[in-house]
Structure 1
Amino acid sequence: MKLLLIEDNPTLQTTLARTFERRGMQVLTCGDGERALALWQASLPDAVLLDLSLPGRDGLQVLGDARAAGLATPVIILTARGTVGDRIIGLNTGADDYLPKPFDLDELEARVRALVRRSGGSPDSASAGHSAAWCGMQLDKDNGAVYFEGAPLELAPRELALLRAVLAKPGQAIAKERLTELVFPGESHIQPEAIEVVAYRLRKKIAHTGAQLVTLRGLGYLLKAAA
């Protein structure tokens, strides 16, 4: 999922961006109301988180211009303006949801995912049709390569095969037997411990990404964001 975060508070912007990136989303940020619409049009995000008090151009003006330009992206307004009147104005201007500050990050994530589901988007895949992204890593489904922050990860073929398998289902346990079939296709003579060697090497090579390859005894492996 690709989010556009339009928020001028640097601390909150950084906190939200890091939180959502660790939860598998791609986040674009903008702190200026004058540039927000252009970035929105260029990036075509799956959802927009919009502050109202922005320098250069008010958030409601940005939202109104976006709707007038035909941009139907789901929008959640995040603002300290918490009165009923402000909420009505925001919703009438074209917002889909409204969350007053301060807010709970888990609630915000749940609202984002629910909003994207209702709009027909997929909360579990990137907006581009050929790639899936999670925790700063992006899998290009066309060529099978995995990138971290735009740079390709240097992995051996079996390490890459394992990463592709767990990256397809982050946060979900995948059985060791299934991973062995994917990493060593057609090699029936492979010992069960072989996948553990590959997992050990992969774990070291992705340590800098903020993702962890976790061993679950009796279940297999899963990929999760570092705490």
Structure 2
Amino acid sequence: MPRVLLIEDDHAVRQGITLALCRGGHEVAAAVTGEDGLRLLRSFRPDVVVLDLMLPGVPGLDVCRGIRVLDPVLPIIMATARGDDEDIVVGLEAGADDYVVKPVQARVLGARIRAVLRRAGGAPVGSGIPRIDTYGDLSIDRAGFSVTRQNVPVALAPSELRLLLTLSASPGQVFSRQQLLEAVWEHSYHGDARLVDACVKRLRTKLGEPPREPRYIQTVRGFGYRFAAQ
């Protein structure tokens, strides 16, 4: 039974989401504030966090960053009452794997949770014999779903890992943002390219990529991204 930590200050919204998730077969622990949510994170040990962006006390963005410090790979779905571009981008860059805009439809949230849990489960991308690929100081273990840089493990969130696996499976191939949304986030509709761009930015940072001249994950302007096997 998947364990969901819900951090939401609105009583009605919290009750409604909790009921819907429980009916969907999830075990739910709910917190009203970010401080309570971070405490529950240690004791409840969730499989995924659903985090409201607008919280009293500690803001949702700071809670997201705090979760990432405590658990770099725990899937986080951000819920925002506004579709404001800046809020969404900042939230994704703070470490969220996906987002939903409130009022949240139960079936949409359920689908997003299932998707991030599949990503967290390490489902392989592509086909072929599992292997360890080495590119300079970067090693990608496709069987163990792990990444090292200069022999030091790199802690990647599920979406970051799947993005790297997808791109590096076909070095030199240019992937459009829509292709990456479908492969990594399982968004088959015309999805939000901000998910891709924010994840690329986080991934580059964790891989120690120079911001202006990234070595591995390169932008192809007007098209998308490619992995350069240098």
- TM-score of the superposed pair, with normalisation by structure 2: 0.51
Deviation at 1:121, TM superposition (A): 7.4
Q: Is contact 1:2-1:45 (8 Å) kept?
A: yes
Deviation at 1:109, TM superposition (A): 0.4
**Number of the residue aligned with 2:94:** 93
The within-5 A match list for 1:172-183 is none
Distance 2:78 2:39 in 1: 18
**Number of the residue aligned with 1:182:** none
The within-5 A match list for 1:137-216 is none
SS at match of 2:54: coil
Distance 2:38 2:122 in 1: 21
Distance 2:102 2:122 in 1: 26
**Number of the residue aligned with 2:163:** none
**Number of the residue aligned with 1:107:** 108
Segments of 5+ residues of structure 1 without an aligned counterpart are 123-227
**Number of the residue aligned with 2:20:** 19
**Number of the residue aligned with 1:170:** none
**Number of the residue aligned with 1:201:** none
Distance 2:49 2:10 in 1: 16
Alpha carbons of 1:23 and 1:70: their partners in 2 closer, same or farther (altered >3 Å)? closer
Q: Is contact 1:46-1:121 (8 Å) kept?
A: no
**Number of the residue aligned with 1:151:** none
Q: Which amino acid aligns with 2:99?
A: Y
Deviation at 1:82, TM superposition (A): 1.5
Distance 1:21 1:7 in 2: 16
Q: Is contact 2:5-2:37 (8 Å) kept?
A: no
**Number of the residue aligned with 2:57:** 56
Q: Is contact 1:37-1:62 (8 Å) kept?
A: yes
Alpha carbons of 1:24 and 1:65: their partners in 2 closer, same or farther (altered >3 Å)? same
Deviation at 1:119, TM superposition (A): 0.8
Say what the alpha-carbon RMSD is for the aligned residues: 1.6
Q: Which amino acid aligns with 1:46?
A: D
Q: Is contact 2:21-2:106 (8 Å) kept?
A: no
Deviation at 1:86, TM superposition (A): 1.0
**Number of the residue aligned with 1:8:** 9
Q: Which amino acid aligns with 2:26?
A: M
Deviation at 1:45, TM superposition (A): 0.5
Q: Which amino acid aligns with 1:101?
A: K
Alpha carbons of 1:121 and 1:46: their partners in 2 closer, same or farther (altered >3 Å)? farther
Deviation at 1:70, TM superposition (A): 3.2
Q: Which amino acid aligns with 2:49?
A: V
Distance 1:47 1:71 in 2: 12
**Number of the residue aligned with 1:77:** 78
SS at match of 1:99: strand
| 1:82-126 Cα distance to aligned partner (Å, 9 max, x none) | 11111110110000001111232111101100110111179xxxx
| Equivalenced residues, count | 122
- 1:45 equivalent to 2:43? Answer no
- TM-score of the superposed pair, with normalisation by structure 1: 0.51
Distance 2:86 2:106 in 1: 24
